[in-house]
Structure 1
Amino acid sequence: MSDFLNLTGKTILVIGVANKKSVAWFTAKTLEEQGATVLYSVRSPARKASLEATLAGKPVFVCDVEAEGSAELLAAEIRAAGYETIHGIVHSIAFANYSEGFKPFHETKRKDFLQATAISAFSLVEVANAFKPLLAKHASVVTIGISSLLVTPDNYGYMGPIKAALDSASRFLAKSFSDHSEVRFNVVGAGPLKTSASAGIPGYLESYLYAEKLTLRKRNLATQEVANTAVFLLSERSSGLNATTVTVDAGLGSNFFDKEIVRLTMRMENKA
């Protein structure tokens, strides 16, 4: 059988593995199934310890992107470990401080917005710059975004603008890197997923169930489907895609006027 994706023997860094429900984990697992060598980066020693059984025998590094200089340190540690060439990077990192509960967007605190921006968006820029000397000429960098940057869900708050910044940063990195290489930068725009991170978003369950009714197939995304798209973008088979967001939402974004949703909404309106 031919190796269609041609990932065998490639070295891919996956940043952001949190647990077995995370997009990063599904992506890493699929990459290994395709013959790639996966380097894992986790946020803290505590996270590394919690994943000890899951990642036993695999190369695992610690990098808290909130700390300035952490990306450069990660690149140096990976090079010191004997990995001279990186063929791809998966950036699957997001954080928002909802410790005080949900607040209207206009009440967003500066410190929360800036912290979330540094971790969720600007870290992509820092990682790209730190790993520039290690990236193969045709390397691929993939980050995990959201399926629509135009909708304004109440319970997503300030992460909407930050995900927009991540999307834009990916395109600008693609342009910037084009001066000296053919490294590609793309975004997987994922629809709602059932992950541990999403569970921390206030009111997420109702939004998730609503989104499911809007998908054309009436079934929400599996995390594996998002991972599959990320793996494709990491492969040479996606060489024509650069500075692009690939939307993976099972048709949700095209189905705002689903007849069932319209019917149920109007029925409730008439009862009110």
Structure 2
Amino acid sequence: MSNNLLAGKRGVIFGALDEDSIAWKVAEQCVAQGAKITLTNAPVAMRFGGVQKLGEKLNAEVIPADATSLEDLENLFSKSMEALGGKIDFVLHAIGMSLNVRKNRGYTDLKYDWMQKTFDISAISFHKVMQTLYQMDAMSDWGSIVGLSYIAAQRTFPDYSEMAESKALLESFARSFGYHFAEKNKVRVNTISQSPTMTTAGKGIKGFQEFFDYADKMSPLGNASAEACADYCVLLFSDLSRMVTMQNLYHDGGFSNMGMSPKLIEG
């Protein structure tokens, strides 16, 4: 259902890979709620995904950008403002990748050059995105920036490996840059700690199906879907959340506050 919550707003969505991506659902919902957007992903990811198809569907320009490259980001935001006709009102950072996880390197046997790449792609890119927006003065007053996180930033999930530290760093960047953006032009910065979600990236993690089922039983409301996360992003991009900033917001069906669920004991 559309309430035109984002009517007249302009946004940039990072990370839409395929129809299972949270970013894909966010892009669709933002446009349904009246926004104009541009889409972006790393050139290598674009070769394997369907973001061009999404762009055609949503009448959204697709602009390749490596989020670890300041030059690419400057080009992205310049072209986005040109395509959208003004400054940017909202940005979604939905980027995460670990070579150690992909190649099944255990946490006690990590390759450190891969770890550094994980941090750069999954977390430091968030700071680069915000710093570029800040220095270009590309965000509208009272804009909104959101990064997708996960509760492994606070709790130990062994198979999540160094992505846990990436998410902790991502959340810290949101708090730190949130202060500076609020002082500059009232832009708010938050992270969403989302339930395990059946995305292409999520399904690539060892034991993901078992953990997805566990989290679903542990959460009183069940796991939050990608579509529900898209709705929550729309709320954070809208004027209804104008005083919310520097927060890590749990969107997980109650998982984060549970100790034990009878459903797990009953089997």
Q: TM-score normalised to the size of structure 1?
A: 0.89
Structure 1 unmatched ranges of 5 or more: 265-272
Deviates more, 1:58-67 or 1:167-176: 58-67
For 1:222-255, what per-residue CA distance to the aligned partner results, in whole angstroms no more than 9, with x for missing partners? 1111111111011110011010111011112223
User: What is the distance in 2 between the residues matched to 1:187 and 1:177?
Assistant: 15
User: What is the distance in 1 between the residues matched to 2:83 and 2:7?
Assistant: 20
Residue type of the alignment partner of 1:53 = K
Match of 2:77 in 1: 75
User: What is the distance in 1 between the residues matched to 2:255 and 2:181?
Assistant: 33
Secondary structure, in 3 states, of the residue corresponding to 1:178? helix
- Per-residue deviation at 1:68? 4.7
Match of 2:131 in 1: 129
Describe how 1:4-43 pairs up with structure 2 within 5 A: 5=5, 7-43=6-42
User: What is the distance in 2 between the residues matched to 1:225 and 1:147?
Assistant: 17
For 1:170-217, what per-residue CA distance to the aligned partner results, in whole angstroms no more than 9, with x for missing partners? 010111223322010011110111111101111111111111111113
- Larger % of helix: which? 2
Match of 1:54 in 2: 54
- Per-residue deviation at 1:153? 0.9
Is the 2:12–2:80 contact (alpha carbons within 8 Å) kept by the matching residues of 1? no
Is the 1:102–1:202 contact (alpha carbons within 8 Å) kept by the matching residues of 2? no
Deviates more, 1:161-170 or 1:174-183: 174-183
User: What is the distance in 2 between the residues matched to 1:37 and 1:80?
Assistant: 12
- Per-residue deviation at 1:79? 3.8
Describe how 1:219-234 pairs up with structure 2 within 5 A: 219-234=222-237
Is the 1:148–1:189 contact (alpha carbons within 8 Å) kept by the matching residues of 2? no
Describe how 1:134-173 pairs up with structure 2 within 5 A: 134-147=138-151, 149-173=153-177
Q: TM-score normalised to the size of structure 2?
A: 0.90
- Equivalent pairs, count: 261
Percent identity of equivalent pairs? 23
Relative to structure 1, is the Cα distance of residues 64 and 220 closer, same or farther in structure 2, using a 3 angstrom cutoff?
Answer: same
Is the 2:68–2:124 contact (alpha carbons within 8 Å) kept by the matching residues of 1? no
Relative to structure 1, is the Cα distance of residues 220 and 149 closer, same or farther in structure 2, using a 3 angstrom cutoff?
Answer: same
Is the 2:195–2:251 contact (alpha carbons within 8 Å) kept by the matching residues of 1? yes
Residue type of the alignment partner of 2:254 = G
Is the 1:124–1:166 contact (alpha carbons within 8 Å) kept by the matching residues of 2? yes
Secondary structure, in 3 states, of the residue corresponding to 1:180? helix
Secondary structure, in 3 states, of the residue corresponding to 1:179? helix
Relative to structure 1, is the Cα distance of residues 178 and 155 closer, same or farther in structure 2, using a 3 angstrom cutoff?
Answer: same
Relative to structure 1, is the Cα distance of residues 53 and 211 closer, same or farther in structure 2, using a 3 angstrom cutoff?
Answer: same
User: What is the distance in 2 between the residues matched to 1:230 and 1:212?
Assistant: 21
Is the 2:102–2:204 contact (alpha carbons within 8 Å) kept by the matching residues of 1? no
Secondary structure, in 3 states, of the residue corresponding to 2:212? helix
Residues 1:191 and 2:195 aligned together: yes
Is the 1:102–1:155 contact (alpha carbons within 8 Å) kept by the matching residues of 2? no
Relative to structure 1, is the Cα distance of residues 128 and 190 closer, same or farther in structure 2, using a 3 angstrom cutoff?
Answer: same
Match of 1:111 in 2: 113
Secondary structure, in 3 states, of the residue corresponding to 2:63? strand
